[in-house]
Amino acid sequence: MNSKWVGMFALGAAMLFSLNCGNNQQLESISITPSSETFLFPNPSANVQLRALGTYTHPPAQKDLTNVVTWTSNTPQVAVVSNTGLLSPAGVGCGGALISASITTNSPKDNVVIGTMTATVDNPNVSGCP
């Protein structure tokens, strides 16, 4: 009789654990590929498609978040990024830009997770550019 109760307890605990794992998956980090990009000339028609990959825990997983993150450039006169992650040199500046992909999570609530990459634009026609 005791082994029956122990077996039922173990089964119940396993069910609770498996339900808990699937419902509380948490986004730990975002990585952007490629992690850096250099454009040799500020040509706005040149572009690179970025991907945002989210790393989750509980249970561990990796998911493509490219189309759900918010993309931004800290120096849009050097490099711009579309809402789908298409990176292009702006055509007017040179130097570096930090590109970020961010998302606000529900678990934990209102947690902002950000991933970054660097874009460099060389412009041989502008004095002081690399």
Task: Read off the pLDDT of residues 89-103 as tens digits, 9 standing for 90 and up.
Answer: 987 778 999 999 999
pLDDT at position 110: 83
Contacts of 61-68 with C-beta under 8 Å, sequence gap 24+, read 61/25, 65/30, 65/101, 65/103, 66/101, 68/103
Residue 64: exposed, middle, or buried by beta-carbon count in 10 A (0-12, 13-18, 19+)?
A: exposed
Q: Where are the domains of the chain?
A: 26-121
pLDDT at position 16: 46
The list of the chain residues with pLDDT below 70 reads 1-23, 126, 130
pLDDT at position 45: 86
Looking at CATH, the fold of the domain delimited by 26-121 is given as: Immunoglobulin-like (2.60.40)
What is the spatial distance between Cα 96 and Cα 48, in angstroms, rounded to a whole number? 15
Inter-residue contact 5 to 12 (CB < 8 Å): no
Residue 118: exposed, middle, or buried by beta-carbon count in 10 A (0-12, 13-18, 19+)?
A: middle
Distance (Å) of CA 32 to CA 11, 77, 97, 114, 119: 41, 21, 14, 10, 12
Inter-residue contact 97 to 119 (CB < 8 Å): yes
